[in-house]
Homo-oligomer: A and B are copies of this chain.
């Protein structure tokens, strides 16, 4: 891997983890990160711009991209595809940008398979009470809904071992600093400096 290539970062986290707020803080603190814009087959909503909020493409086109391995992770939700295009992230990685994918566990596992060098970060709420409170939302859900959502979060968190880093979000500022440190130290790893020997000895 060349030293100037960006790092692919997957960030997942259940409801109540605060990962969205954490990532906003990361973007505020550093210019070295970029979000990957997802592709989707759903219709744009008013105000949504192609290439900014999503890459809006047809279902046929999406399936064609899946078939030729251009879609590196995807999900099918309420009749539409959502996913990440290899072309989109490769361009940013080559330009030295660290690309953040904010995706769920299932997509994270797909990325891990295709990009073994990707860094997987799981952000979790400080404790169970916060998770439960957040899953209850604004009190509009039935107890059955809540139980289902809780069960799903439990199932997803069982995959925590598949992630490289576990960040317990007790403080937004601390967690966003940690994400920046993780990426910075990753750049010091020998796998990002494979050309060192030849450069040092001018071979």
- Residues in B neighbouring A166, C-beta threshold 8 A: 188-190, 193, 196
Q: Are A197 and B157 in contact (CB under 8 A)?
A: yes
Per the 8 Å Cβ criterion, residues 181-195 of A in contact with B are 181-182, 184-185, 188-190, 193-194
Q: How large is the interface on A (under 10, 10 to 19, 20 to 34, 35 or more residues)?
A: 20 to 34
Complex contact B164–A190 (CB within 8 A): yes
A68 contacts chain B at the CB level, 8 A cutoff: no
Q: Which 9 A-B pairs have the closest CB atoms?
A: A166-B193, A166-B190, A182-B185, A165-B188, A185-B185, A181-B181, A181-B185, A163-B190, A161-B190
The A158-203 residues at the B interface (CB cut-off 8 A) are: 158, 160-161, 163-167, 178, 181-182, 184-185, 188-190, 193-194, 196-197, 200-202
B128/A201 in contact, CB under 8 A: yes
A32: CB under 8 A from chain B?
Answer: no
List B contacts of A165 (CB < 8 A): 185, 188-190
Chain B positions within 8 Å of A163 at CB level: 190
List, in ascending order, chain B residues with CB within 8 A of A49's CB: none
Q: Which residues of B contact A101 (CB under 8 A)?
A: none
Q: Contact check, B128 vs A160: say whether CB atoms are below 8 A apart.
A: no
Question: Does A197 lie within 8 Å of B128, measured CB to CB?
Answer: no
Residue A15 is within 8 A (CB to CB) of chain B in the complex: no
Cα(A178)–Cα(B193), bound, Å: 15
Asked whether any CB of chain B lies closer than 8 Å to the CB of A154, the reply is yes
Output the least CB separation between A102 and chain B (Å): 18
Q: Can you name the residue of chain B whose Cβ is closest to the Cβ of A150?
A: B201
Does A127 touch B at the CB level, under 8 Å? Answer: yes
Is A124 an interface residue, CB under 8 A from the partner? Answer: yes
Give A44 to B73 CA distance when docked, in angstroms.
63
Shortest distance in angstroms between A125's beta carbon and chain B's nearest beta carbon?
9
